[in-house]
Structure 1
Amino acid sequence: MTDKRHLRFTAFTRISIVFIFANMIWIFINLLNTYVSDGEYDRFSHFMMGLSITTLTILLLVISCRIENSSWFELGMANFKSNLYAFLFGLIIWLLPASIGTLILVSLNMIEIAVISSWKEIFIHCFILSFTVFLIEALPEELIFRGYIFSKLQKMFKNNLVILLQMLLFTIFGFIIGSIYSVEQFLFIPGFAFILGYFRAKAQNIWLPIGFHLAIMTVTQLLNTIHKHLEVDNFFTLQFAAFILLPSTTGAILLNMEWIKRRILPLVNS
């Protein structure tokens, strides 16, 4: 019993240290970016912000793994081929249902999407934005919460509790770094963390939630008015129904289908 308590105390201590340093990374880089860009959106500074966050996050985890004498594979990694399959599957789980949901909402006149700039500009910006989102959110946040923290909690608790605990920590993290700035965000972030944790538990590969995370946040940010490419009337309905509810439900159903379990999941966690 004493050994078990000691192991849990050690695990919670390590989780706390990584969690605190992760918050410090985001806060520091956010403050630095605000100072450099004077609070205005700038494509280059946003990209450098993401590069800095990813670099510091990887450095933090490399140091943690070396101190603990653990492997990166324990964070939910597999071989390159499996990681690629998992990443693509995560993209598809979001892109297909979200596209179908968007078309349905448009056809029912529940939302309107106006194109402001040219399609060429939109595609170029989307391509660049996806790299930035990958570096600033999808990769580092998943490495910390669905990677390091998730794997540590899995050694102590069952997946159901692990999913809830990482959801709680991710929500606190979002509040601390200023991502929860409205009622909509307060409702979005816990649910987002829950589904990402659920996908991580089912796939046993962190690259599936990375793909899902990248897809939803790239498109969501592309529709932001600061980019001046698209305007959406009734964006909340689009985000809730097409971007969150439909892809999350579809993903959960797919990951519980026997055919997916037999044919797809072995490819992403081998």
Structure 2
Amino acid sequence: MNAIHGSERATAGVRPERPPVLVRVILVTVGALLVWLLMGWVDDTLFPAEEVTTASHVVNALLVFVLAVPLVWAARRFLDRRPWGGLGLTGVREGRRPFLVGAAAWALPGAAGIALCVAMGWASVTAAVPWTELLPGVLSLAALVLVFEAVPEELIFRGYLYRNLNAAMPAWLAVLAQAALFALFGTGLWVILNGWGVLAERLALFLGMGIVLGGIRLVTGNLWACVGFHLVFQTVAQTMLSSGYVEVRGVDAIMSTGFLAPFVFGVPTVMLLSLTTGDWGRRVPDPIAREGCPS
């Protein structure tokens, strides 16, 4: 730990007055868990019915967003004492291409896997509502996913936590470490809310998702790529599995082929579209000054 702080002092040129990296990582992870637990309590209080309604989805999304984003801002300002730009969340114009690359990293292999299932007769996907209702419904769902899941979760795990970890360890190890924290966070929430029966399934899901999204963050150096991947994944999954907008026959085939393909080919797709493989052994310093601050 002393070696880590020595490296930070040498990089910044001054003695950083901030807690050790392990303390910062634990505080933000626990803070994120508390945000989602609070959201669950508010949801149970305001919407006691078990099914998810549009109203409950909107309230949950807004509550998580208005708590999670300030959590990261405060941690970056008062714990890290570093510029916000170091998290890799560039402006909209600069982030447009990475966002599309991340979205394509899920959409291309995902669409190919789903198309294969349909072509082989393993599954079928048909609209359950008119297109005039389907399209606005999916767009609204995507907006909620962006606010509720894609931006807050990526900002915390592939933004704040990955950035701090990558300043202290090689990039490949930072990817694994933040994925483990993401798995602990997501699985812990599901176990608290649904019991131990979901442990194995959710642990594998969140760990795999964390590794892939961490790899995308490493390769692109831009958080918008992770947001794009996360947004498309959750929008497609929720549209097909729980929205009522489409009818899916052969869900198991869709899950094991269409939804698995992006987790296998997502990072290679990002490498192909970005024309880079990333530097997996690099430890990226986190300097105080904005000038030259790596993303």
TM-score by length of 2: 0.81
Following the alignment from structure 2 to structure 1, what is the Cα–Cα distance between the partners of residues 90 and 138?
Answer: 28
More off after superposition, 92-101 vs 203-212:
92-101
- Go from structure 1 to structure 2 and tell me whether the alpha carbon gap of 1:22 and 1:103 turns closer, same or farther (over 3 Å shift): same
From 214, 221, 225, the counterpart of 2:231: 214
Following the alignment from structure 1 to structure 2, what is the Cα–Cα distance between the partners of residues 15 and 175?
Answer: 18
From 27, 34, 43, the counterpart of 1:24: 34
- Go from structure 1 to structure 2 and tell me whether the alpha carbon gap of 1:45 and 1:78 turns closer, same or farther (over 3 Å shift): same
Paired letter, 1:91? A
Following the alignment from structure 1 to structure 2, what is the Cα–Cα distance between the partners of residues 237 and 184?
Answer: 17
Deviation at 1:24, TM superposition (A): 0.2
Give CA-to-partner distance per residue, 1:81-106, whole Å, 9 cap, x none. 22121112111221222222211110
Match of 2:269 in 1: 254
From 228, 239, 249, the counterpart of 2:255: 239
Following the alignment from structure 1 to structure 2, what is the Cα–Cα distance between the partners of residues 172 and 12?
Answer: 16
Match of 1:149 in 2: 161
Deviation at 1:112, TM superposition (A): 2.0
| Structure 1 unmatched runs, 5+ | 263-268
Following the alignment from structure 1 to structure 2, what is the Cα–Cα distance between the partners of residues 65 and 9?
Answer: 12
- Greater fraction of residues in helix: 1
The residue matched to 2:190 in structure 1 has which SS? coil
Following the alignment from structure 2 to structure 1, what is the Cα–Cα distance between the partners of residues 232 and 270?
Answer: 18
Give me the identity figure in percent: 26
- Go from structure 1 to structure 2 and tell me whether the alpha carbon gap of 1:182 and 1:107 turns closer, same or farther (over 3 Å shift): farther
Q: Does 1:230 align with 2:246?
A: yes
Match of 1:159 in 2: 171
More off after superposition, 141-150 vs 5-14:
5-14
Match of 2:285 in 1: none
- Go from structure 1 to structure 2 and tell me whether the alpha carbon gap of 1:37 and 1:209 turns closer, same or farther (over 3 Å shift): same
From 82, 87, 94, the counterpart of 1:82: 94
More off after superposition, 207-216 vs 72-81:
72-81
Q: Does 1:54 align with 2:69?
A: no
Following the alignment from structure 1 to structure 2, what is the Cα–Cα distance between the partners of residues 184 and 234?
Answer: 19
Following the alignment from structure 2 to structure 1, what is the Cα–Cα distance between the partners of residues 27 and 271?
Answer: 35
Match of 1:106 in 2: 118
- Go from structure 1 to structure 2 and tell me whether the alpha carbon gap of 1:191 and 1:2 turns closer, same or farther (over 3 Å shift): closer
Paired letter, 2:23? T
Following the alignment from structure 1 to structure 2, what is the Cα–Cα distance between the partners of residues 235 and 87?
Answer: 28
The residue matched to 1:113 in structure 2 has which SS? strand
Paired letter, 2:258? A
Match of 1:265 in 2: none
Following the alignment from structure 2 to structure 1, what is the Cα–Cα distance between the partners of residues 130 and 251?
Answer: 21
Give CA-to-partner distance per residue, 1:205-259, whole Å, 9 cap, x none. 011011000001011011224x3222222223212321232x2343322333497
Deviation at 1:114, TM superposition (A): 3.5
Match of 1:189 in 2: 206
Give CA-to-partner distance per residue, 1:132-167, whole Å, 9 cap, x none. 111111100000000000000001111111111111
- Go from structure 1 to structure 2 and tell me whether the alpha carbon gap of 1:255 and 1:127 turns closer, same or farther (over 3 Å shift): closer
From 176, 180, 184, the counterpart of 1:168: 180
Paired letter, 1:48? V
Paired letter, 1:135? V
Match of 2:25 in 1: 15
More off after superposition, 51-60 vs 64-73:
64-73
Paired letter, 1:40? E
The residue matched to 1:256 in structure 2 has which SS? helix
The residue matched to 2:247 in structure 1 has which SS? strand
Following the alignment from structure 1 to structure 2, what is the Cα–Cα distance between the partners of residues 219 and 256?
Answer: 23
| Structure 2 unmatched runs, 5+ | 9-17, 278-293
The answer to whether the 8 A contact 2:150-2:227 is kept is yes
Match of 2:11 in 1: none
